[in-house]
Amino acid sequence: MVRRGPAIVRGVIPRALVLASLLGALTFGAACRPKATKAPYGPGEGPNAQTLIADAKPQLGAIAVPEAKVIANRVMRGNLAFLAQGPGRFRGSVQISGNELVTLAFTEDGYALRYKLDAFPTGFYHGPPSACAVEALLGVALDTEDLVALVLGGAPIIAAPYEIADQKWDGEVSREAVTIRNARYEQRLEFEPNGDGWQFVGSKLWTRNPDGSRGTWRWSLSHEEMKDRGGARLPAQTRVVAPGKRKNNQLLIQYRTRDLDPAFAKLVATDDGGGATQGGDDWGDAGDAGDAGDAGEDGWEGAEEGGEWEGKEPEGEAPKAEEPKPAEVKPEPEPEPMPKPEPEPKPGAKQGPPAVFTINGEGLSDRGDLCR
């Protein structure tokens, strides 16, 4: 019995120490966990869900970003410049040390992609709008209109009709959360208090299973370091996280300079429904924007070099006096024809995409549609 006592003690004491350590660790972890915050409103006084969703729309109609930094998966860094116009026009290019890596442009008519990396063959790709074209530029598969909504300071929102599945104050992140769902997706929209109102700051998207339950996570996004800029509240950076093959893909866009009233958005529609003309200089390589027409350097069309003003007398001898002519007998004026009825006014001219959203495949092999 004397020998067995110490053996039992030796077995009991280590187990007690392990349990005490675990309890201590749990207690320490609970103490370090941020305390949940209370809702900034009383019972039954929360914001209206439909109003929040409406306020999550893009804050700008168009934007030009000549300088931004893009960081993919925390290691790949490049310089990003882009133009965007709602609801679905975009042109962006990633460069390193002035060397083009990838350029993507898309409108409602389709996409074009100049690709010089090594994930798939270098070349020029084009086809209908597709999330895979966005993935080629940024590494995250976002629908084209979702990307535009994001860079215009808003939220990509699932297509209507949708239902509001839940709304609550999430004290863990100090945000009001609204969950909506349609036949294909479930989405959580997050809002922070902003003065007397609310500001959209983040979202998560999942697919839905056939039984209606929440399925695969598609992406999460957040607008960070929100500040008032030119009448809009915009982020200093935007982060997007999406599932990858081995670990999650992460994209970070850090804005440096922004033009919230870009010249390319001031358009004049053409009568034939073609591309719209622009009202000023735009970011981008003018060589990719198409021909400028027949205008000369001063912008005037049809002026011939060396031409003279109408009515100017040529230099040299004075003109000889002309012999008087007999008076002409003017015929009786014919009665004026009845005026024709005014034609019906033409419907509003169709406004096509500005030329700045057009790129070509010069110097690259034509690869067809990347997303087929």
For 103-148, write each residue's pLDDT tens digit: 999 999 999 999 999 889 999 999 999 999 998 888 888 899 999 9
For a pLDDT cut of 70, what percent of the chain falls above it?
A: 68
pLDDT (0 to 100) of residue 230: 83
For 346-356, write each residue's pLDDT tens digit: 555 556 788 99
pLDDT (0 to 100) of residue 330: 52
Distance CA 114, CA 123 (A): 6
pLDDT (0 to 100) of residue 23: 45
For residue 172, give both structure tokens. 């863990």
Architecture of domain 49-265+357-368: Clam (2.50)
How many other CB atoms are there within 10 angstroms of residue 63's CB atom?
25
- Mean pLDDT, the chain, integer: 78
With DSSP H G I counted as helix, E B as strand and the rest as coil, what are the percentages for the chain, rounded to 5? Answer: 15, 35, 50
Low-confidence ranges of the chain (pLDDT < 50): 1-13, 16-23, 25-31, 268-281, 283-321, 332-333, 335-345
pLDDT (0 to 100) of residue 74: 76
- φ/ψ of 122, rounded to 5, equals -60, 140
Q: Find, among 238, 256, 259, the residue nearest to 79 by Cα.
A: 256
Q: At a CB cut-off of 8 Å and minimum separation 6, what does 289 contact? A: 282, 355, 356, 358
3-state secondary structure of 191: strand
Distance CA 102, CA 93 (A): 6
